[in-house]
């Protein structure tokens, strides 16, 4: 308890320093006793080590030195000091006051909120001596060296610190304060043997803001492999590319007929489309890549799909949606009575259906959209192109020729590159029998030089993939949210840093945006927050740091993330050879593929309402998501009690509300399936699915899909076994339809914004307003035989989510995840399917915008791959 009194004695100092270092300032005051003890124990432990090695003699020696080190450094002393350095080479400290007998490991993860007072006060004298002796030696060897490197901490750039750890590999040194505060996982010895800068995981502001410090590619690809990949890509893309060409030539034929010419004779004018400009269809908001129709009068633009729909009479007016959720107040969200709601707001029928019909003329020509739909309604739309006339069809020919050339040349190439691991592995992959209902789950170390074919095999089936321990591939840069925050706050132009003091967060209970002081948010991340009734408050950051700028704002973290990515051929957002998203030429506006961070609170227990979740949705592109940091908040007994009480209240409220609405539905549900055939089908599916539960172990690579069991019964909810940090449910694409049926049927049992029941469903998955609790998952399995892949993502695990797979995530701890989107040639068909689905959504639907522009990507990827492959074939 001596330590405690020392702590409080210095609280004045803490406050003063806190002003200077805002992110740790408040923390310090609230530092829990336990944490303080830990900090102290570490310091003492280091000292003790020294004592153990050196015995009392050293202790005495240390005392002697304390008296003299400030001014006198006689030769004898220096010699003795060097001896210490050699024999305990740990640069450990001896303790003059510590009476602890306990020994702790040097790296103590929990010491996040380091108290600089402790360091300044407890740092011991040995350290200084050490440095001085070193400096002395240096001075003797190389005077210039000292001149160029005055004693200054590389991290905080301060010279006035007392104690430093010098690196033995470079002239840099780190002060003890920074060592303790920013490198809690590194021991003093480790830093001395190779400093964070030399290890390339330095998290000082300058390093965090520097680009290109590390090599991000974790594997070198031979030219032969490259050629193979490019050929593979062209082969997979060609059918889709041909489809695009086909659509275009159909429209050309219609145009030719209109003009009474042959399709070779018609001349199509190029639309003026500047670099960095996107052209969207004014009706369905899909990106236009080349041929389209345009109004000469009001420049209304229409895509070919819409033209087709107008001609066959299937075009639908894209209605605007009304916001269907009503705020019934705090009490209501916590299971209590609703506030009275103004009548005019209480409308659940949100559609405003424009009754206008838009038809083509009998000859197939189309007039501009009626005024109600945003056009001028008068002029006839003209055919326009964006690429130079004929460019796309030329490319089609080139691509086909390139594949032929490959057939001729690749056997010779193959002989040259006999040792290609790719070819070798192909055979291996075929041998491997994997139960395709389980998730392929390799370790990151095994994915670097092998395993891409196994990846492709599962990926092509539309399966998710988990890669363990990917942070191992990085340099060990800190993913502590505070480190990221510091990089943003202290090193950016004031305009940006001033914006960093507040963040926008989503309150998961109300699904509303809240503004919160950044520091308060992160305090809650590690310590938890509650509402006034003690119900856990789950917050998640919205777009922080601003996602489109992650690379600019946190370049070092961005590099570290990319370096940690497994299967970079696909996932690398800059150079992935099989990533279509990187094939867009410089002048084309790129979609925002990330990386993005997701920082959210989380607790183990499923609350059923206001959980920290990403609701069920599916993405247009593929994605990989790495869990980079977690913090566990332990609930008190009182909180557990409150939670169970409030859950009761929620249940009662649910029943009250559903009672009236669902009397009819319940009645139907009790009956066996009307359609006997459907029933049998479902039973079969169920049986097939239950086989999925067999854990199969092949070289430790297969993740048994049995996690769900742990969540299906509330009795096991509080088990204290070592678990992951984020609970994922990923559905097979094939199950999407059944999933949609289930959600439409049970929509009113779910709550969304303001905890209002979901009254309006446009698209059960794209609306993103459902999270299936374990109860619903159980019901879904019973009713329709649909079951997701369920697993827990652990720290350092990367989850690959194929485009088009509906998925949802619940955070079991506070989590920081970094994710990046990519577009693999295997999943193009899904991207196109989703683009079509999104076209049909109402005008103001949040999922509607065609951000990906997949057709444009296909065209440019074919173009680039043909060019690259040509070069490779030439030079070999
Ligand atoms: Zn420092
Ligand atoms: Zn160094
Ligand atoms: Zn640095
Ligand atoms: Zn359109
Ligand atoms: Zn017009």
What pLDDT is attached to residue 671? 41
The residue with greater pLDDT, 449 or 750, is 750
CB-proximal residues (5 Å) to ion ligand 4: 281, 283-284, 303, 306
Regarding whether 125 and 69 lie in a shared domain, the answer is yes
Residues 260 and 282: beta-carbon distance below 8 Å: no
Is residue 434 in a domain? no
Ligand 5 centroid – CA 274 distance (Å): 21
- Residue 122, Cβ neighbours under 10 Å: how many? 24
Long-range contacts of 242-245 (CB under 8 A, 24+ apart): 242/396, 244/289, 244/392, 244/855, 244/858, 244/859, 245/392, 245/393, 245/396
- The bridge status of strand 502-507 relative to strand 512-517 is antiparallel
| Nearest ligand, measured from the Cα of 168 | 2
Ligand 5 centroid – CA 666 distance (Å): 52
The residue with greater pLDDT, 101 or 846, is 846
212 CA to centre of own chain: 21
Residue 218 has pLDDT above 90, yes or no: no
The CA radius of gyration of the chain, in Å to the nearest whole number, is 32
Confidence of residue 675 (pLDDT cuts 50, 70, 90): very low
Q: Which helix (H) or strand (E) holds 255?
A: helix 223-259
Ligand 3 centroid – CA 510 distance (Å): 42
Regarding whether 147 and 248 lie in a shared domain, the answer is no
Ligand 3 centroid – CA 172 distance (Å): 9
Ligand 5 centroid – CA 679 distance (Å): 53
Q: Dmax of the chain from CA atoms?
A: 106
Give tens-digit pLDDT for 188-207: 999 999 999 999 899 988 88
Ligand 1 centroid – CA 837 distance (Å): 55
Mean per-residue pLDDT for 333-338?
79
Which residues are bridge partners to 443 per DSSP?
A: 468
| Nearest ligand, measured from the Cα of 374 | 5
Is residue 640 in a domain? yes
CB-proximal residues (5 Å) to ion ligand 2: 167, 169-170, 172, 195, 197-198
Residue 502 in 3-state DSSP? strand
Give the domain extent around 125: 2-199
* Interatomic CA distance for residues 101 and 304, integer angstroms: 79
Regarding whether 68 and 81 lie in a shared domain, the answer is yes
What pLDDT is attached to residue 343? 56
Residue 561 has pLDDT above 60, yes or no: yes
Which residues are bridge partners to 507 per DSSP?
A: 512, 539
- The bridge status of strand 502-507 relative to strand 439-440 is unpaired
Which residues are bridge partners to 526 per DSSP?
A: none
Is residue 209 in a domain? no
| Nearest ligand, measured from the Cα of 478 | 3
DSSP conformation letters of 565-614: -SSHHHH-TTT-TT-GGGGS-TTSPPP----EEEEE---SS--SSS-SEE
| Nearest ligand, measured from the Cα of 193 | 2
Residue 34 has pLDDT above 70, yes or no: no
The residue with greater pLDDT, 102 or 565, is 565
Handedness of CA 305, 743, 610, 659 (dihedral sign): positive
What pLDDT is attached to residue 150? 65
Regarding whether 733 and 778 lie in a shared domain, the answer is yes
Regarding whether 644 and 778 lie in a shared domain, the answer is yes
Regarding whether 370 and 458 lie in a shared domain, the answer is no
Distance from the first to the final alpha carbon of the chain: 74
- The bridge status of strand 382-385 relative to strand 301-302 is unpaired
Ligand 4 centroid – CA 359 distance (Å): 14
* Interatomic CA distance for residues 78 and 486, integer angstroms: 39
Ligand 5 centroid – CA 276 distance (Å): 24
Ligand 1 centroid – CA 175 distance (Å): 4
Last residue of a domain, one of 164, 199, 234: 199
Ligand 2 centroid – CA 650 distance (Å): 57
Ligand 2 centroid – CA 595 distance (Å): 29
| Nearest ligand, measured from the Cα of 190 | 2
Ligand 5 centroid – CA 302 distance (Å): 10
Ligand 1 centroid – CA 161 distance (Å): 7
Ligand 5 centroid – CA 287 distance (Å): 19
Ligand 5 centroid – CA 382 distance (Å): 10
What pLDDT is attached to residue 214? 81
- Residue 61, Cβ neighbours under 10 Å: how many? 19
Regarding whether 495 and 630 lie in a shared domain, the answer is yes
Burial (CB < 10 A; 0-12, 13-18, 19+), residue 875, is exposed
Ligand 3 centroid – CA 195 distance (Å): 10
For the ranges 129-143, 257-271, 735-749, the one whose mean pLDDT is highest: 735-749
Ligand 3 centroid – CA 10 distance (Å): 29
Give tens-digit pLDDT for 353-390: 556 678 888 888 899 988 888 888 888 999 999 988 88
For the ranges 292-301, 334-343, 493-502, 542-551, the one whose mean pLDDT is highest: 292-301
Ligand 1 centroid – CA 184 distance (Å): 14
Q: Where are the alpha helices (DSSP H) in 626-757?
A: 637-670, 676-691, 707-712, 736-746
Ligand 2 centroid – CA 479 distance (Å): 21
**Average pLDDT, whole number, for the chain?**
73
The residue with greater pLDDT, 79 or 865, is 865
Ligand 5 centroid – CA 841 distance (Å): 23
Ligand 2 centroid – CA 836 distance (Å): 55
Confidence of residue 36 (pLDDT cuts 50, 70, 90): very low
Ligand 5 centroid – CA 273 distance (Å): 18
Ligand 3 centroid – CA 205 distance (Å): 7
Regarding whether 813 and 723 lie in a shared domain, the answer is yes
Confidence of residue 866 (pLDDT cuts 50, 70, 90): very high
Ligand 3 centroid – CA 482 distance (Å): 16
Among residues 727, 728, 760, 767, the alpha carbon closest in space to that of 605 is found at 727
- How many structural domains compose the chain? 3
Is residue 403 in a domain? yes
For the ranges 2-11, 65-74, 427-436, 545-554, the one whose mean pLDDT is highest: 545-554
For residue 439, which phi and psi values (nearest 5 degrees)?
Answer: -95, 130
The residue with greater pLDDT, 3 or 851, is 851
Mean per-residue pLDDT for 128-135?
40
Mean per-residue pLDDT for 110-130?
35
Ligand 5 centroid – CA 319 distance (Å): 20
Residues 609 and 755: beta-carbon distance below 8 Å: yes
Token reading at 556: 């070092």
Residue 68 has pLDDT above 50, yes or no: no
| Nearest ligand, measured from the Cα of 483 | 3
Ligand 3 centroid – CA 206 distance (Å): 6
Confidence of residue 415 (pLDDT cuts 50, 70, 90): low
| Nearest ligand, measured from the Cα of 172 | 2
Last residue of a domain, one of 199, 233, 265: 199
Ligand 3 centroid – CA 155 distance (Å): 6
Among residues 523, 540, 536, the alpha carbon closest in space to that of 634 is found at 536
Token reading at 798: 């990367």
Q: How far is CA 729 from CA 535, 655, 725, in A?
A: 25, 27, 13
Mean per-residue pLDDT for 842-861?
85
Ligand 4 centroid – CA 246 distance (Å): 17
Give tens-digit pLDDT for 264-273: 888 888 887 7
Among residues 821, 311, 399, the alpha carbon closest in space to that of 598 is found at 821
What pLDDT is attached to residue 263? 76
For residue 211, which phi and psi values (nearest 5 degrees)?
Answer: -100, 155
What pLDDT is attached to residue 684? 34
For the ranges 231-245, 324-338, 439-453, 505-519, the one whose mean pLDDT is highest: 231-245
Ligand 3 centroid – CA 442 distance (Å): 33
Ligand 5 centroid – CA 842 distance (Å): 22
| Nearest ligand, measured from the Cα of 202 | 3
Is residue 704 in a domain? yes
Regarding whether 509 and 376 lie in a shared domain, the answer is no
Ligand 2 centroid – CA 168 distance (Å): 7
Ligand 5 centroid – CA 619 distance (Å): 34
Residue 444 in 3-state DSSP? helix
Ligand 3 centroid – CA 66 distance (Å): 31
Spatial neighbors of 386 by CB under 8 A, at least 6 apart, are 270, 271, 273, 279, 288, 289, 290, 291, 292
CATH number of 808's domain: 2.60.120.650
Is residue 268 in a domain? yes
Last residue of a domain, one of 159, 184, 199: 199
Ligand 1 centroid – CA 72 distance (Å): 25
Which residues are bridge partners to 798 per DSSP?
A: 467, 626
Ligand 3 centroid – CA 197 distance (Å): 5
Sheet containing 512-517, strands listed edge to edge, beginning at the edge strand earlier in sequence: 512-517, 502-507, 539-541, 596-600, 814-822, 622-631, 798-801, 465-467, 439-440, 702-703
Cis omega (within 30 of 0) on the bond before 807?
no
Residue 69 has pLDDT above 50, yes or no: no
| Nearest ligand, measured from the Cα of 163 | 1
Give tens-digit pLDDT for 588-647: 888 888 899 999 999 988 888 889 999 999 999 999 999 999 999 988 898 899 888 888
Residue 283 has pLDDT above 80, yes or no: yes
* Interatomic CA distance for residues 784 and 681, integer angstroms: 9
Regarding whether 449 and 387 lie in a shared domain, the answer is no
Mean per-residue pLDDT for 737-766?
87
The residue with greater pLDDT, 631 or 663, is 631
Is residue 474 in a domain? yes
Q: How far is CA 870 from CA 228, 399, 816, 824, in A?
A: 12, 10, 43, 21
Regarding whether 852 and 837 lie in a shared domain, the answer is no
Ligand 4 centroid – CA 354 distance (Å): 17
What pLDDT is attached to residue 539? 92
Token reading at 517: 């002081």
For residue 134, which phi and psi values (nearest 5 degrees)?
Answer: -65, -45
Q: SS3 breakdown of the chain: % helix, strand, coil, rounded to 5?
A: 45, 10, 40
Is residue 208 in a domain? no
Mean per-residue pLDDT for 655-663?
71
What pLDDT is attached to residue 560? 93
Ligand 2 centroid – CA 191 distance (Å): 8
Ligand 1 centroid – CA 178 distance (Å): 4
408 CA to centre of own chain: 42
Spatial neighbors of 594 by CB under 8 A, at least 6 apart, are 547, 550, 573, 818, 819, 820, 821
Ligand 5 centroid – CA 115 distance (Å): 67
Burial (CB < 10 A; 0-12, 13-18, 19+), residue 410, is middle
| Nearest ligand, measured from the Cα of 298 | 5
Cis omega (within 30 of 0) on the bond before 810?
no
Among residues 684, 667, 665, 581, the alpha carbon closest in space to that of 624 is found at 581
Ligand 4 centroid – CA 804 distance (Å): 21
* Interatomic CA distance for residues 402 and 394, integer angstroms: 12
Ligand 4 centroid – CA 356 distance (Å): 17
| Nearest ligand, measured from the Cα of 173 | 2
Ligand 4 centroid – CA 212 distance (Å): 42
Ligand 1 centroid – CA 174 distance (Å): 5
| Nearest ligand, measured from the Cα of 204 | 3
Regarding whether 167 and 156 lie in a shared domain, the answer is yes
Residues 458 and 467: beta-carbon distance below 8 Å: no
Give tens-digit pLDDT for 695-733: 323 333 333 333 333 333 333 334 444 468 999 999 999
* Interatomic CA distance for residues 172 and 152, integer angstroms: 8
Ligand 2 centroid – CA 171 distance (Å): 6
């Amino acid at each position: 308890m001596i330590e405690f009194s020392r702590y409080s004695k210095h609280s004045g100092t803490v406050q003063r320093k806190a002003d200077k270092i805002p992110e740790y300032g408040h923390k310090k005051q609230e530092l829990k006793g336990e944490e303080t003890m830990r900090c102290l124990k570490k310091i003492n432990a280091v000292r003790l080590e020294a004592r153990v090695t050196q015995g009392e003699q050293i202790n005495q020696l240390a005392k002697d030195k304390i008296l003299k080190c400030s001014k006198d450094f006689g030769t004898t002393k220096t010699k003795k000091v060097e001896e210490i350095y050699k024999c305990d080479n740990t640069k450990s400290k001896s303790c003059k006051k510590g009476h602890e007998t306990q020994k702790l490991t040097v790296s103590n993860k929990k010491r996040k909120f380091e108290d600089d007072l402790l360091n300044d006060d407890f740092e011991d004298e040995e350290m200084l001596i050490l440095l001085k002796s070193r400096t002395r030696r240096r001075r003797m060897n190389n005077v210039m060296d000292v001149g160029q490197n005055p004693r200054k901490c590389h991290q905080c750039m301060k010279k006035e610190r007392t104690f430093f750890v010098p690196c033995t590999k470079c002239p840099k040194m780190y002060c003890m304060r920074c060592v303790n505060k920013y490198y809690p996982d590194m021991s003093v010895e480790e830093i001395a043997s190779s400093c964070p800068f030399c290890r390339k995981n330095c998290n000082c502001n300058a390093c965090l803001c520097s680009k290109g410090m590390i090599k991000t590619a974790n594997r070198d690809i031979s030219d032969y492999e490259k050629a193979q990949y490019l050929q593979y890509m062209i082969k997979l893309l060609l059918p889709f590319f041909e489809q695009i060409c086909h659509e275009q030539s159909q429209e050309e034929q219609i145009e030719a007929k209109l003009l009474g010419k042959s399709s070779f004779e018609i001349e199509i004018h190029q639309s003026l489309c500047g670099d960095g400009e996107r052209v969207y269809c004014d009706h369905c908001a899909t990106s236009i890549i080349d041929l389209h129709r345009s109004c000469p009068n009001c420049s209304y633009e229409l895509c070919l799909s819409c033209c087709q729909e107008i001609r066959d009479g299937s075009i639908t007016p894209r209605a605007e949606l009304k916001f269907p959720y009503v705020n019934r107040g705090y009490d209501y969200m916590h299971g209590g009575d609703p506030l009275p709601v103004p009548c005019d707001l209480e409308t659940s029928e949100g559609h405003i259906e424009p009754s206008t019909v838009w038809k083509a003329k009998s000859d197939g020509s189309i007039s501009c959209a009626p005024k109600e739909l945003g056009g001028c309604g008068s002029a006839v739309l003209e055919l326009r192109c964006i690429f130079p006339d004929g460019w796309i069809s030329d490319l089609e020919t080139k691509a086909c020729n390139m594949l032929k050339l490959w057939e001729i040349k690749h056997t010779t190439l193959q002989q040259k590159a006999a040792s290609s691991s790719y070819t070798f592995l192909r055979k291996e992959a075929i041998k491997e029998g994997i139960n395709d209902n389980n998730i392929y789950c390799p370790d990151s170390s095994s994915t670097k030089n092998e395993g891409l074919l196994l990846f492709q095999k599962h990926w092509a089936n539309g399966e998710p993939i988990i890669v363990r321990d990917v942070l191992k591939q990085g340099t060990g840069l800190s993913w502590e949210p505070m480190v990221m925050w510091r990089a943003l706050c202290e090193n950016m132009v004031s305009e940006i840093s001033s914006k960093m003091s507040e963040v926008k967060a989503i309150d998961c209970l109300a699904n509303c945006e809240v503004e919160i002081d950044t520091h308060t948010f992160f305090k809650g991340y590690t310590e938890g927050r509650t509402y006034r009734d003690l119900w856990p408050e789950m917050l998640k950051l919205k777009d922080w740091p601003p996602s489109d700028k992650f690379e600019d704002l946190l370049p070092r973290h961005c590099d570290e993330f990319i370096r940690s990515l497994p299967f970079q051929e696909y996932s690398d957002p800059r150079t992935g050879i099989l990533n279509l998203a990187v094939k867009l030429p410089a002048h084309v506006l790129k979609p925002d593929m990330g990386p993005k961070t997701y920082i959210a609170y989380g607790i183990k227990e499923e609350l059923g309402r206001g959980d920290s979740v990403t609701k069920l949705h599916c993405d247009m592109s593929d994605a990989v998501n790495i869990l980079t940091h977690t913090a566990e908040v332990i609930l008190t007994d009182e909180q557990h009690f409150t939670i169970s009480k409030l859950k009761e209240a929620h249940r009662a409220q649910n029943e009250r509300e559903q009672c009236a609405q669902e009397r009819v539905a319940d009645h139907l549900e009790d009956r066996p399936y009307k359609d006997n055939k459907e029933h049998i089908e479902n039973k079969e599916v169920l049986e097939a699915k239950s086989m999925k539960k067999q854990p199969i172990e092949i070289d430790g690579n297969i993740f048994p899909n049995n996690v769900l069991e742990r969540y299906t019964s509330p009795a096991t909810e509080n088990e204290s076994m070592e678990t992951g940090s984020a609970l994922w449910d990923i559905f097979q694409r094939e199950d999407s339809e059944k999933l949609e049926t289930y959600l439409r049927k049970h929509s009113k049992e779910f709550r969304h914004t303001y905890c209002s029941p979901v009254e309006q469903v446009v698209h059960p998955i794209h609306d993103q307003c459902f999270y299936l609790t374990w109860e619903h998952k159980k019901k879904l399995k019973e009713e329709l035989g649909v079951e997701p892949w369920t697993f827990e993502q652990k720290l350092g695990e990367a989850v690959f989510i194929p485009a088009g797979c509906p998925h949802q995530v619940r955070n079991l701890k506070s989590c920081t995840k970094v994710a990046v989107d990519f577009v693999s040639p295997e999943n193009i068909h899904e991207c196109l399917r989703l683009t079509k689905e999104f076209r049909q959504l109402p005008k103001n639907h949040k999922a509607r915008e065609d951000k990906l522009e997949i057709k444009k990507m296909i065209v440019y990827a074919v173009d680039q791959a043909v060019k690259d492959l040509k070069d490779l074939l030439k030079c070999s």
